[in-house]
Amino acid sequence: MSRPATDEGRPAGYRDLFVLAEYRAVFTASVLSWIGDYLCKAAVALLAYDRTGSVLASAAAFAVGYLPWLTAGPLLAAVAERHPSRTVMIFCDLARAALIGLIAIPGVPVAVLLLLLFASGLFAPPFEAARSAQLPQILTGDRYPLGVAFNNTVFNLAQVAGYAAGGAVAGYSPHVALLLNAATFVGSAFLLHRYVKPRPATLAATHRTGLWRETWQGYGVVFGDPLMRIIAFISFGTVAFVVVPEGLAAAWAAEFDGGDGSAQGLIMAANPLGVVIGGLILTRLLRSRTRTRLIRPLAFAAPLTLVPALLAPPLVGVLLMVTASGVVMSLLLPAAQALFNSVLPHEYRARAFGAMNSGIQIAQGAAILITGALSERFPTSIVIGAWCSAGTLLMLLVTFRPITSGAGASH
């Protein structure tokens, strides 16, 4: 199914990615934005707690950044489709830099702080949709799935680095952390302006039918195509199961003798570690055709790796299971995204990826809320094991049909 990225026909390597100046710029800009996001979350959560002394206010400050994905995300992705991707990304970066700069002003009331943070978060969906639409134009052939896998790997590293740096800098001064966050967005905008070529909008003016209709068309193209529909269900389903250990890490750590913050941190870090291992080592060794053939077994294996939680394993066993789930995800999601991209019509790229991103965010949030409520009545290990047992059966049903590039309907 895939085209080789090099004249020799060998699988693309990391050198084939970074030899491209545009990819280097988009990659670096994305890393800056990711680190900035987590700097902001750590700083704002601490700032809200310092101002109010309320854990609820701190949690609300942390969670408000996800609300745009659950509300206006798909509509904003449709807006992004109407404009050149490079322009959308630069505008979103500069807007976020300005809003975060306002949050950094000393004495801003908490209510205003939350409102500004929500407004800043509204620019994340169009930025990510534009980046997702632009990446296949920069990375062709076998470079694309490798680039997606590498980006996912670095995203997890950026999450760890952003939280660590955010906690350290915010402990010194939340305002300094927020100013650093604003600076990361300015740096990202500069790189995109300087090194990324202008390209026309993916949705031509002659094809525009109104934002609401265009938004629903994004969902229609995803769920109306048999192949893309299966990929969407696989993506939503697997993240809904694999994310649960991270969301319930505090409660799961408390089940171990002497369970404390260190156990919680290890559980939360295990999945990103697995993603890094799989992304840097295994993805590089597998050809695109092989990765595509593995989508079905990997979709089944993702929740299956966590089913042994039913046996209430010790902490070492928990860490091995959660790390294994990260390795599976590092192979599954890039392969699924590459197959998704191969049948996705060009003019729907931003909207379709916006619909996918919103679905993933909703699936993660719903899974954590449901399993969190169940953990109020049952042991967390049993809840996670039972939840992922159900997920294993669901993935069997979802992947019952063969997953091939020829399954998609043409548009």
* Residue where the block lists tokens 């599976």: 328
* Residue-range domains of the chain with CATH: 15-196 (1.20.1250.20), 218-402 (1.20.1250.20)
The vertex-204 CA angle with 203 and 207, nearest 5°, equals 90
The pLDDT, as a whole number, for residue 207 is 64
Helices and strands, counts by H and E, the chain: 21, 0
Contact 105, 182 (CB under 8 A): no
Class of residue 294 by CB neighbours under 10 A (exposed 0-12, middle 13-18, buried 19+): middle
Q: What is the DSSP letter of 347?
A: G
The pLDDT, as a whole number, for residue 58 is 61
Distance of CA 214 to the CA centre of its chain: 23
**Which of 26-40, 145-159, 294-308, 357-371 has the largest mean confidence?**
294-308
The pLDDT, as a whole number, for residue 264 is 67
Distance of CA 240 to the CA centre of its chain: 13
Asked which of 43-57, 75-89, 308-322, 351-365 is least confident by mean pLDDT, the reply is 43-57
Q: Could you tell me the CA-to-CA distances from 319 to 245, 266, 308, 314 in Å, in that order?
A: 10, 7, 12, 9
> 3-state SS string over 225-262?
CHHHHHHHHHHHHHHHHHCHHHHCHHHHHCCCCCCCHH
The pLDDT, as a whole number, for residue 388 is 94
- Which residue type, as a one-letter code, is found at position 119? A
Element (H, E) at 42: helix 21-52
Percent helix, strand and coil across the chain, each rounded to 5? Answer: 80, 0, 20
The pLDDT, as a whole number, for residue 34 is 81
Tokens of 320: 């091995």
Q: What are the tens digits of pLDDT across the range 385-402?
A: 999 999 999 888 887 766
The pLDDT, as a whole number, for residue 82 is 81
Q: What are the tens digits of pLDDT across the range 292-332?
A: 788 888 888 999 999 999 998 988 999 999 999 988 988 88
| Average pLDDT of the residues in 76-91 | 86
What is the average pLDDT score of the chain? 79
320: CB partners within 8 A, 6+ apart: none
Q: What are the tens digits of pLDDT across the range 51-67?
A: 777 655 665 666 676 67
